[in-house]
A and B are shown apart, each in its own frame.
Chain A
C-alpha cells in the first residue's frame, strides 16, 4: 500500500523479462514473479531489474471518487527507468494474445489510454472505468460481496487483460 497526498492506493510492481515470441508465454512466466511488494522491497526489486533488458510495470489500483470503482493505472518503465509512453509496448509486454481484441475494442473493459495519474500527477496508462460498474454488476449481481470478494472479481474483470492476476493460491470466485 502506498499513501500520497492523503490518499491510499495499492501498488504492485512486476519486473518484465526480455520479451519472448509468444505474449501469452511471457505473461505466464512473469506471473510467478509477481507479488505484492512493500516499501523496503521496492529498492530490492529495482536492483534485480538492473538487467538492461527488463522493463517494469507498476500497477496502481486507485479508487475513483467519480466512478466509485477501483481503477487500474499502469506505469510502464523502460529498462533505463524512463517512462514508456508507447501504447504498443503495453500490448506487447502485458496483454495476453486472447485479450488484445477485447481491450482495443473498448468492450467490457473500457479503453486503455494515457492519462494523468490522479495522485502522482505524472503520465501513465489506465483502463477507463466507464464500463467497470456495469461489468461488475453483471458478475456480482444480486449478492452482497465483501471488499475482498469485490476486489477479486474486479481483478478478474479488469486486471487479467493487462497481466495482473490474483495469486493462484487464492480461491477464484
Chain B
C-alpha cells in the first residue's frame, strides 16, 4: 500500500467525520403549550454522533413550552420522523440514510467525483425535520434512557465489543483496552474529535498476533421488499447443522415501516483454495449476503448500498472501507436502497 493511498484513506475518513446533518427539531404539539408550533431548534449534528447527546440542550430549549415541565426530564426525550420513533442507538447518519428519503450522492449518476457532500444537492430533505417528545415513551420500540447517559454508553460499548469480536473472533482485544482508551473512544464521539478516536481505533484494528477474521458490516433494509424477495444464507450454528424441522412454520409478515437487519460473517478475502485469494469487495460481500438484491458483484441492478449519504461503488475494497469509513463503533452500517 503506497503512502499516498494511505493518505487518501485518511482524507476519506476525515471527510466522513466532518459530515453532518442540519436538524430542525420541533416539540411535539401534544406537549406544547402554544397552539401554534413551537419554535424550531436548529442544530448541525455530525453523522457519526447519536441523538441522545442532544437531549440536555434540547430539553433546556423547549422546557418553557412544555405543558408539564416538571413531569419529565431530558432523558425522557425521544425523537420521531413522520411518526416513527427513531432508534437512539443508531448513529444519526444511518438514521438519515434510512428514513429521510434523500437521494444519495452517486458519483456515477452525477458524473463528478465524490465530494462527500450530498447535502448541497438535496434541498428538500434538509434540514431534516424531526419532532422531539418528552412523554409517552414508546417502550415497545425503544429502550429507556437514564439521566447519566449510561444506557447510551453501554449500547455504544456493546457495539464496539461486537465489532471487535467479529474482527478477531475473540473479545480479548476490546476487553484488553485500558480504562483510558475505552473512555477515550466515547469521548471522541461526544466531542467529535477524530484525533481522540484514531489512536484507539488503531489498537482495535491491529492487535499483535491476531489476524483479521471478519469485517464488521451490517445491512439495513427498510421493508418495502416482500420477505420472499430476499434470501440471506443462514449461518450454520456449529458442530452439526440442525435437522430439518418436520413442522413447517408460518412466517410472520414484517409490520409496515419496519426495518430488516442483515448480518453475517464476511471475511476480508473470498474463500479460495489458492494462496492468492481475492479480497472481498463491497460487491462480492453483498452478493454473498443478499444475492437476490445484488445478483451482480460488479454493478448494482436492483439496489444500492448507501454509506454516509453516498452510494458506495461495488468495487470498493471491503477491508479498506472498514478501516477508513466505519462508524465510531467500528461497523459499516450500510443502508440498502431499492433502485427505481
Q: Do A and B come from one complex?
A: yes
Binding site for B on A (CB under 8 A): 1-8, 38-39, 63, 65-68, 70, 82-83, 85, 113-116, 118, 121-123, 128, 130-131, 134, 144-147, 150
Not counting A121-B259, A130-B175, A147-B238, a sample of 10 additional A-B residue pairs whose C-beta atoms are within 8 angstroms of each other reads: A3-B249, A4-B254, A6-B231, A65-B265, A83-B139, A85-B139, A115-B158, A144-B239, A147-B241, A150-B237
Q: Return 23 A-B CB contacts under 8 Å, by A number.
A: A1-B245, A3-B250, A4-B251, A5-B227, A39-B249, A63-B235, A65-B265, A68-B265, A83-B139, A85-B143, A113-B158, A115-B155, A116-B87, A116-B143, A121-B261, A122-B140, A123-B144, A128-B158, A130-B165, A130-B175, A145-B239, A146-B240, A150-B238
Query: Of all chain B residues, which has the CB nearest A126?
Result: B158
In Å, the complex CA distance between A83 and B142 comes to 11
Chain A nearest CB from B243 CB (Å) reads 8
CB neighbours (8 Å) of B243 from chain A are 147
CB neighbours (8 Å) of B227 from chain A are 5-6
Contact of B165 among A67, A70, A118 (CB under 8 A): A67
Contact of A66 among B231, B241, B254, B265 (CB under 8 A): B265
Binding site for A on B (CB under 8 A): 87, 89, 139-144, 151, 154-155, 158, 161-162, 165-166, 171, 175, 227, 230-232, 234-235, 237-243, 245, 247, 249-252, 254, 258-261, 263-265
Contact of A122 among B141, B247, B254 (CB under 8 A): B141
CB neighbours (8 Å) of B143 from chain A are 85, 114-116, 123
Query: Of all chain B residues, which has the CB nearest A119?
Result: B261
Chain A nearest CB from B25 CB (Å) reads 23
Instruction: Determine whether the beta carbon of A147 is less than 8 Å from that of B239.
Output: yes
Query: Of all chain B residues, which has the CB nearest A136?
Result: B238
Interface centre among B240, B247, B265 (most CB of A within 10 A): B240
Query: Of all chain A residues, which has the CB nearest B235?
Result: A65
Contact of B239 among A5, A85, A150 (CB under 8 A): A150
Instruction: Determine whether the beta carbon of A5 is less than 8 Å from that of B139.
Output: no
Contact of A65 among B144, B258, B260, B264 (CB under 8 A): B264
CB neighbours (8 Å) of A114 from chain B are 143-144, 151
Known contacts being A6-B227, A68-B235, is A116 close to B249, with CB within 8 Å?
no
Query: Of all chain A residues, which has the CB nearest B241?
Result: A147
Query: Of all chain B residues, which has the CB nearest A128?
Result: B158
Query: Of all chain B residues, which has the CB nearest A38?
Result: B247
Instruction: Determine whether the beta carbon of B254 is less than 8 Å from that of A5.
Output: yes
Instruction: Determine whether the beta carbon of B235 is less than 8 Å from that of A6.
Output: no
CB neighbours (8 Å) of A113 from chain B are 154, 158
Query: Of all chain B residues, which has the CB nearest A134?
Result: B171
In Å, the complex CA distance between A19 and B265 comes to 42
In Å, the complex CA distance between A48 and B139 comes to 24
Known contacts being A65-B263, A118-B261, is A6 close to B250, with CB within 8 Å?
no
Instruction: Determine whether the beta carbon of A123 is less than 8 Å from that of B141.
Output: yes
In Å, the complex CA distance between A131 and B242 comes to 23
Interface centre among A66, A113, A115 (most CB of B within 10 A): A66
In Å, the complex CA distance between A170 and B309 comes to 53
Chain B nearest CB from A151 CB (Å) reads 9
Known contacts being A68-B238, A70-B237, A147-B238, is A123 close to B249, with CB within 8 Å?
no
In Å, the complex CA distance between A145 and B144 comes to 40
CB neighbours (8 Å) of A123 from chain B are 139-144
Chain A nearest CB from B158 CB (Å) reads 7
